[in-house]
Amino acid sequence: MQPLSQEIDVSPAGSFSLNSLLRVSARPVLHRLSVYGVLPQQLVQIISRASVRLLDSDLTSQTPHDCGPGEEIGLPLAALAHQAHAMTERILELMAHVEWLAAQERIELTTEESAARDFIADATLTMTRFGRYHGDDVQRALALKFAANELLLHLVSSAAVKDFSDQRDLLAFTKMAGSSYRCYHELRASMGAGNAVNAQGCQ
């Protein structure tokens, strides 16, 4: 079976309508982030490609393989709320680190990538100011961590990060306090979109 991500045109010139499979796949994440304003177009594309990739993972593998160590999908909301504070603190650290790397000329950010970083950082800062993590707040924290993870993966894969040690560190950060796989499937379940991994650990 050809992966969905290879069947769909995800280039800026390609069709990117609200009814596209990309946007439908990404809806659990985009829906939660839309409360913070209009997302930068490149961030929407990054999130959409990642969402299709994770759906591919479910279609082609019986075993989840993109989770962080010891992560569990399907935790009660109270348990997620307990983790959401650490998750948002990690996001702020990651976005500040990206900014620092750019200032040190160890990473080259395009205008669009900078806008994506700023959106994630500003939205996360807004969340931390409220100091609460209940219901929709937890889902927004998961969506922000997903977006942060995927921005880092995009920067590494596009060769924007020059040094191998920086690439390694950024990829390691994507597994801390919420992997993309875990965040995405928690969000899908919260929207009633179905959960490919129902209350089981990430092996």
Can you give the CATH number for the domain in which 56 is found? Answer: 1.20.140
Query: Is the residue at 156 inside a domain?
Result: yes
Per the structure, how many domains does the chain have? 1
Kindly report whether the global pTM for this prediction surpasses the value 0.85: no
pLDDT per position in the chain (203 positions), as tens? Answer: 333 333 334 444 444 444 466 667 888 999 999 999 999 999 999 999 999 888 766 555 544 445 554 455 555 555 666 678 888 989 999 999 999 999 999 999 999 999 999 999 999 999 888 777 777 888 899 999 999 999 999 999 999 999 999 999 999 988 887 889 889 988 888 876 444 444 344 43
Query: Is the residue at 199 inside a domain?
Result: no
Query: Is the residue at 45 inside a domain?
Result: yes
Query: Is the residue at 11 inside a domain?
Result: no
Q: What is the 3-state secondary structure (H, E, C) of the chain?
A: CCCHHHHCCCCCCCCCCCCCHHHHHHHHHHHHHHHHCCCCHHHHHHHHHHHHHHHHHHHHCCCCCCCCCCCECCCCHHHHHHHHHHHHHHHHHHHHHHHHHHHCCCECCCHHHHHHHHHHHHHHHHHHHHCCCCCHHHHHHHHHHHHHHHHHHHHHHCCCECCHHHHHHHHHHCCCCCCHHHHHHHHHHHCCCCCCCCCCECC
Query: Is the residue at 4 inside a domain?
Result: no
Query: Is the residue at 9 inside a domain?
Result: no
Query: Is the residue at 145 inside a domain?
Result: yes
Query: Is the residue at 105 inside a domain?
Result: yes
| Domain boundaries, position 145 | 19-190
Looking at residue 83, its pLDDT comes to: 77
